[in-house]
Structure 1
């Protein structure tokens, strides 16, 4: 599962095949700081993002998930850790 570290947060972005379909959905999970190096604190549990969009392959879905996760960290947004 691809991931990226932004400040003290770890972002996992992935894709999942939609049930009974050949299409894919974009998925994001965000972990925040934790006092224990052996434990990650999930602050945004695995969720589908861009729910009105389906993708024809997993690479497209992961690219969209990555884009959405980065947008959540933009100053002034109220969607995630950066807002």
Structure 2
């Protein structure tokens, strides 16, 4: 599961193979800042995103989950200003 830090957020994104299918879904979790380094503050719990879309490869699903995460983080930053 790829993990990436964008600003103060940590994202985990992955492709999950769909049941009884060769296709993949996109999964994402976003963690925000925490005052305790031993605790992760999940602000977007792990779940499937882009639920109306199936992907032919795991890499395509991961890429879509990452795009979704960046979009959510940017929207959150705009609300803060």
2:73, 2:43 → 1: CA distance? 13
SS state at 2:63 partner: helix
Find the counterpart in structure 1 of residue 37 from structure 2.
Answer: 37
RMSD of the alignment, in Å?
A: 1.1
**Which of the pair has the greater relative contact order for Cα pairs under 8 Å at 6+ separation?**
2
For residues 1-83 of structure 1, the aligned pairs below 5 Å read 1-74=1-74, 77=75, 81-82=76-77, 83=79
CA distance in 2 between counterparts of 1:19 and 1:9 reads 30
SS in 2 for 1:73: helix
C-alpha distance in 2, partners of 1:56/1:4?
23
Q: CA deviation at 1:63?
A: 0.6
Superposition TM-score, scaled by structure 2 size: 0.88
CA offsets per residue over residues 25-56 of structure 1, 9 Å max, x none? 00110001111111111110011111110011
* Structure 1 unaligned regions, length at least 5: none
Query: For 1:5, what is the secondary structure of its paired residue?
Result: strand
TM-score by length of 1: 0.86
Q: Which one has a larger percent helix, Structure 1 or Structure 2?
A: 2
